[in-house]
Amino acid sequence: MSFSISGKTAIVTGAAKGLGLAVARHFQAKGCNVMFADIDETALDQQVGEEARAEGAVRMFAGDLREKLTLANLLSATIDAFDRVDILVNASRRWSQSDPLNPDEDGVENLWRENVLTSLRLSQLTARRMILQAEKAGTEGPIGTIINVSSIAANRTQPDLLAYSMASAAVEQMTRSMAVALAPKGIRVNAISFGSVMSASLQAALKEAPEGRDTIRAGTPLGRIAAPDELAETMQYLASDASGFLTGQVLTVDGGRSLLDRVDMSAF
């Protein structure tokens, strides 16, 4: 089996910075057509604006992906640009703390909408498009892959991460459910669960609390924070034919962090 993703078309959300940007750039370097999608139009333009306007293998789409119409427009823009979609990476996500004893706390609702429903709805729309384009082309066998992003918080308990943990756990169950539903159609659905990656949100958190860097390192057997590029390699594996018999799985990429009995994720 081949690790190649050359010639395929990918949508990557959260692609203006951090993990999403690293994945989108990696896919581009491996020969993919890539639609960079993010809510932050300014950041997107800074990163890929010139390339996108050249109308080559890179395009950009700015919009609030929590809105159903925006999701539909993203998919339409991708089809207009590249005629098809083969890979979806739901890398758009938020991290926040929440008060588990405050009934007026809206963190659970916000993260559910942003980290779970956005990925679910875009996956549903993209899967339908993959199925349609396969039917039109008379394609049989594998027709697409969907990759979600979760966190080891899904299986670790820390009260002030209630909202984030719930959302992460939901993404993992969504991955398994969608994998079973879409397997007969030739679409694989998997997820990556990570520990601490130097994402945009973690960079911001460490600026406010630099001591968190040492806390994370001490709680990670490999003794360091992962670079976004390291997860991008795993994403390529999941998007390629090399993982052709893998679906409904959540791959943990955390430097061994989830192996410890007690992990402080306050500086996640």
Q: Which of 16-25, 123-132, 246-255, 259-268 has the lowest mean pLDDT?
A: 259-268
Q: With the CA atoms of 253, 220, 197 and 119 taken in that order, what torsion angle do they form, in degrees rounded to the nearest 10? A: 50
The stretch 67-87 carries a mean pLDDT of: 97
Residue 34 phi/psi, 5° resolution? Answer: -130, 130
Nearest to 48 by CA among 25, 81, 26: 25
Cα 63 to chain centroid, rounded: 16
Task: Pull the structure tokens for residue 131.
Answer: 């199925």
Vertex 200, ends 194 and 201: CA angle to 5°?
A: 70
Residue 5 has pLDDT above 60, yes or no: yes
pLDDT digits (tens, 9 = 90+) for 170-211: 999 999 999 999 999 999 999 999 887 777 667 777 787 787
CB neighbours (10 Å) of residue 42?
Answer: 11
Q: End-to-end distance of the chain based on CA atoms, in angstroms? A: 36
What are the DSSP calls for 73-122, one per residue? HHHHHHHHHHS---EEEE---------TT-TT--HHHHHIIIIIIHHHHH
How sure is the predictor about 264, in pLDDT bands with cuts at 50, 70 and 90? low
Does the structure show a pLDDT above 90 at 74? yes
